[in-house]
Amino acid sequence: MTTYRPSPSKWVRNQVAAIEAAGTTEAADIQGMRVVLLTMTGRKSGDTLKVPLMRVEHDGLYAAVASKGGAPDHPQWYFNLQAQPDISLQDGTLDRPVRARELQGAEREQWWERCVAAFPPYAEYQTKTDRLIPVFVLEPRA
């Protein structure tokens, strides 16, 4: 078991604490919209890290959008998923093991449309940055 290291970001720490206290992701939101909680391993530290993300679900699969609000650089969790794609996803009270796979081409575009439909600010975030905002699909693993 690795050590859980809370985020340096206060809003992330507060949301994770609320989710853990209630036992459900319904205890937190981003701009009034539902979130899921990703639990991953830090690529450098090996610590357990947790991050709430917008809930984007389609046919039992989920997306993780590395938008960082349209910042010029990727969020740190993006690099953790690249290094260790086997993570845990909590939606509501259900926690399940998933594997993150970064999307490219037409598959990314299809998921991007779903992401923007679930959280319209993503479209604006893309206009704020020169980078193509990465999208991962989170697929069940055994």
pLDDT of residue 2: 77
CA distances from 38 to 4, 6, 64, 79 (A): 13, 13, 9, 14
16 SS3 class:
helix
Mean per-residue pLDDT, 112-134: 97
Res 79: pLDDT? 98
Q: How many CB atoms lie within 10 A of CB 134?
A: 19
Confidence of residue 142 (pLDDT cuts 50, 70, 90): confident
- If we measure between CA atoms, which residue out of 85, 93, 92, 91 comes closest to residue 139? 85
Kindly tell me if the per-residue pLDDT of 132 is higher than 80: yes
- Residues forming a β-bridge with 87: 98
CA distances 17 to 2, 23, 30, 37, Å, are 18, 10, 15, 11
Q: Average pLDDT for residues 29-41, to the nearest whole number?
A: 96
Q: Which domains does the chain have, with CATH numbers?
A: 10-140 (2.30.110.10)
pTM summary value: 0.95
Residue 13, pLDDT above cutoff 60? yes
Taking only the tens place, the pLDDT of each residue in 43-100 is 999 999 999 999 999 999 999 999 999 999 999 999 999 999 999 999 999 999 999 9
- Helix/strand/coil for 27: helix
pLDDT at 42: 95
Sole residue written with tokens 């740190």:
76
Indicate if the pLDDT at residue 1 is higher than 60: no
pLDDT the model gives residue 45: 93
Measured in degrees and rounded to the nearest 5, phi and psi for residue 34 equal -65, 150
Mean pLDDT of the chain: 96
Tell me how far apart the alpha carbons of residues 117 and 129 are, in angstroms, rounded to a whole number.
Answer: 20
